[in-house]
């Protein structure tokens, strides 16, 4: 069997969310935040880069730690966190890493910049984005920078917004109080400009990659300004990212629902953007009309962007694990940009970058599931989930799906079946009942489940042809864990 790649595309113990994919030379690089398995807060204090040849999306390698928070001279002045970065090749041929640092619930300080001669070498602190008079640029909310080299013109995009729709906070005084509390700004600072403080913004940088050449302008509104526009219901929340496709600018962002990555389009880099649609949701909400209450996984914040690799476009995004939003893992899916410029929403799959379905041969880790639901999956907030819920987790080097209860469905899209197989599951737990295995609409068999404190094997045999999603559904009492499953071709 040829080497394959599945979602998440990095090793299961690696948590690189907020992935910004870029092709530099003959390699695809992904720059993102750096979470931890079972983490209790966003983003450890460094950036780790991964890359793979554009000719082989299965051969990911870790480029190591490319930058640390302690290299920033502002580190240590307050409780800092390093949020989602982006990287661009400057007009001088060097590579510039843009990032924001924040502490607590406040979004304060400028956008910081580091530089390196290579895409994934050791970056060195370079400076902060500044106004022409040398002051740090802090207009609006300097968060989640995205950067674009548009034929030698460098565009910086950034911003943030409260996801709460305006009708939920009708009182102006309550709105002001909330903003001063969340952003750490005074009333005078918040009212110093005519626009709402929240939304996505654009500004041009000088050749020094630090100095802004114009006042930042609003390109996509947050929920409080989106009423009556094409963005109403899918307004900007965070995760600014810009791509240019031929003569059209695509602004990729996380909407007010947070679980979805949306896009807006314009013929200009800094104005006239209109809402395009949703590209992906990390619970498949909206895909083929799926309602939020029918989400196919726990949903949570999302962040990523699109990239073209050898003629094929992909969306990079992340999913939640460990019943928290502090252990996010990167995933990717192929997408199509249609002749009219639109992008249809795609579903989460297990085979993402593989170029086709996974082969029903060999062993697979259970946590590569793209669907994991007991029909009661929540939207994940800042507080970890404490109630019992099926989820991906780990115990040291063992990664598995835990707390599988009656009615839980675990889905893998897609596998190519080619005849007679034996399917082995490795499971444990106090559960008693039956696991029903299905390939699409085809019943594969039933696996009896009985209590076992240790991992044990259980198997079924079947004969199926074609490409199908693989589902496991448990019915019974108690809970079980599944670590992996394996296909064995039989005669």
CA 126 from centroid of its chain's CA atoms: 27
Asked if residues 410 and 482 have their Cβ atoms less than 8 Å apart, the reply is yes
Residue 46 among the catalytic residues: no
Give a three-class secondary structure readout of 279-299. Answer: EEECCCCCHHHCCHHHCCCCE
- Please tell me the distance from the alpha carbon of residue 475 to that of residue 432, in angstroms, as a whole number: 8
CA–CA distance, 361 with 102 (Å, rounded to integer): 46
3-state secondary structure of 105: coil
Beta strands 217-221; 199-205: pairing state:
antiparallel
Token pair belonging to 212: 């802004």
Q: Are residues 434 and 443 in contact, defined by beta-carbon separation less than 8 angstroms?
A: no
By CB neighbour count within 10 A (0-12 exposed, 13-18 middle, 19+ buried), where does 299 fall? buried
Active site residue 238: yes
Catalytic residue among 72, 225, 238, 405: 238
Alpha carbon distance, N-terminus to C-terminus of the chain: 18
| Residues 6 or more apart whose Cβ sits within 8 Å of residue 151 | none
SS3 25: coil
Interatomic CA distance for residues 280 and 35, integer angstroms:
21
Q: Report the catalytic residues.
A: 18, 238
């Amino acid at each position: 069997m040829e080497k394959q790649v599945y979602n998440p595309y990095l090793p299961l113990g690696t948590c690189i969310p907020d992935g910004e994919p870029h092709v530099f030379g003959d390699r695809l690089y992904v720059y993102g935040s750096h979470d931890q398995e079972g983490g209790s807060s966003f983003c450890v204090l460094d950036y780790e880069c991964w890359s793979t040849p554009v000719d082989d999306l299965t051969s990911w390698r870790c480029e190591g730690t490319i930058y640390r928070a302690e290299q920033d001279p502002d580190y240590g002045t307050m409780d800092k966190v390093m949020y989602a970065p982006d990287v661009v090749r400057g007009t001088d041929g060097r590579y510039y890493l843009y990032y924001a640092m924040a502490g607590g619930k406040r979004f304060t300080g400028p956008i910081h910049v580091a530089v390196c001669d290579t895409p994934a070498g050791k970056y060195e602190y370079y400076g902060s984005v500044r106004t022409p008079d040398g002051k740090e640029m802090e207009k609006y909310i300097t968060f989640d920078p995205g950067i674009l080299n548009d034929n030698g013109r460098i565009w910086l995009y950034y911003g943030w917004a409260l996801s709460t729709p305006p009708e939920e906070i009708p009182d102006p005084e309550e709105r002001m109080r909330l903003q001063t509390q969340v952003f750490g700004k005074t009333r005078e600072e918040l009212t110093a400009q005519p626009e709402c403080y929240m939304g996505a913004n654009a500004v041009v940088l000088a050749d020094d990659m630090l100095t802004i050449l114009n006042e930042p302008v609003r390109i996509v509104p947050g929920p409080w300004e989106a009423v009556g526009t094409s963005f109403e219901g899918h307004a900007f929340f965070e995760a600014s990212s810009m791509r240019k496709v031929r003569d059209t600018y695509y602004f990729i962002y996380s909407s007010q629902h947070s679980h979805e990555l949306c896009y807006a389009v314009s013929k200009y880099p800094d104005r006239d953007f209109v809402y395009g649609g949703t590209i992906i949701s990390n619970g498949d909400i909206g895909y083929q009309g799926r309602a939020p209450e029918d989400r196919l996984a726990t949903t949570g914040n999302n962040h990523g962007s699109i990239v073209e690799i050898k003629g094929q476009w992909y969306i990079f995004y992340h999913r939640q694990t460990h019943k928290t939003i502090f252990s996010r893992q990167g995933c990717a899916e192929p997408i199509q940009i249609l002749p009219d410029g639109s992008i249809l929403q795609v579903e989460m799959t297990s085979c993402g970058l593989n170029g086709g379905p996974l082969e029903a041969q060999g062993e697979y880790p259970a946590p590569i599931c793209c669907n994991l639901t007991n029909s009661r999956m929540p939207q994940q907030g800042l507080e970890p989930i404490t109630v019992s819920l099926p989820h991906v987790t780990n115990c040291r080097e063992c990664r598995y799906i835990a707390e599988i209860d009656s009615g839980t469905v675990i889905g893998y899209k897609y596998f190519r079946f080619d005849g007679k197989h034996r399917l082995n599951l490795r499971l444990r737990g106090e559960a008693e009942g039956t696991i029903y295995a299905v390939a699409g609409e085809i019943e594969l068999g039933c696996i009896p489940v009985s209590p076992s404190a240790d991992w044990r094997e259980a198997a079924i045999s079947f004969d199926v042809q074609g490409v199908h999603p693989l589902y496991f559904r448990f019915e019974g009492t108690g809970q079980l864990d599944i670590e992996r499953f394996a296909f064995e071709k039989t005669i």
